[in-house]
Every structure is written in C-alpha cells, then in structure tokens.
Amino acid sequence: QVQLVESGGGLVQAGGSLRLSCAASGRTLNPYAMGWFRQAPGKEREFVASISWSGSSTYYADSVKGRFTISRDNAKNTVYLQMNRLKPEDTAVYYCTAGILGSSRWHSSDYWGQGTQVTVSS
C-alpha cells in the first residue's frame, strides 16, 4: 500500500506561483509513474502532468504547458508540481496519483492522495 499526502496549496494572486508536494509512505514509489490531476467545482477531474519513474519523461496538459513543471525525488519518495504564472482558471483541488503511464500521458492510477486546494484570485 502507498499513502500519498499532498501539501503546498493555498491562495495566491493571478501571476503568482505555488509549489505542490506529494509525499509517499508505506512503500517505495518504485516503479510507479506519478501524476497530478485537478478538479474544479462542477467539473470532472482532469489530467495536469505526469512523470515516469526515472523522471526522464514528462507530460503536460496543453493548458499548463510552459507554466507548470513536474519533478520527483525518488530518494525522498516525493513528487512536486511547480506552478508559475497562475491563472484564476487554475483554481481547483489538486490530486497526486501513483500509477502507470502506458503509451500515453496517463494510463491508470493505483493510488490517490486526498487533494490540496489551490485558489487563484484575479
């Protein structure tokens, strides 16, 4: 079993930055790919970014490409999402997930965190 705990969310003005962290416990993240998803009120959960186990492959939703950066530190069992130039439409609950990339940017999830709220004011 893997437990995922997100942190780093909060309230920020448009144009600002936040760095989300997702710490895993229970067992190593090897060989899981890691991903970030988000869900805004009244909307479905959507893919944001993913990273392979080695960190050599990363994928982004078009809406965040060039603004967000996903990274991981396997020694610390932690994955990060650096979010820059935030927009009000980035407001959502952000979820960390461990799973499989497959042949696309995300195939399936085995574990989910509880989420962290990100609110971007205009």
* Residue 29, burial from CB neighbour count under 10 angstroms (0-12, 13-18, 19+): buried
Average pLDDT over residues 78-85: 98
Q: What is the pLDDT of residues 17-67, one digit of tens each?
A: 999 999 999 888 889 999 999 999 999 999 999 999 999 999 999 999 999
How many whole angstroms from its chain centre is CA 23? Answer: 11
Q: Give residue 75's pLDDT.
A: 93
Question: Is 8 exposed, middle or buried (CB count within 10 Å of its CB: 0-12, 13-18, 19+)?
Answer: middle
* Mean pLDDT for the chain overall: 95
pLDDT of residue 55: 93
Using the predicted structure, report yes or no on whether residue 104 has a pLDDT greater than 90.
no
Q: Which pLDDT score, from 0 to 100, does residue 40 have?
A: 97
SS3 90: helix
Tokens of 72: 């991981």
The tokens of 78 are what?
């932690």
Number of alpha carbons in the 13 Å side-chain half-sphere of residue 105: 14
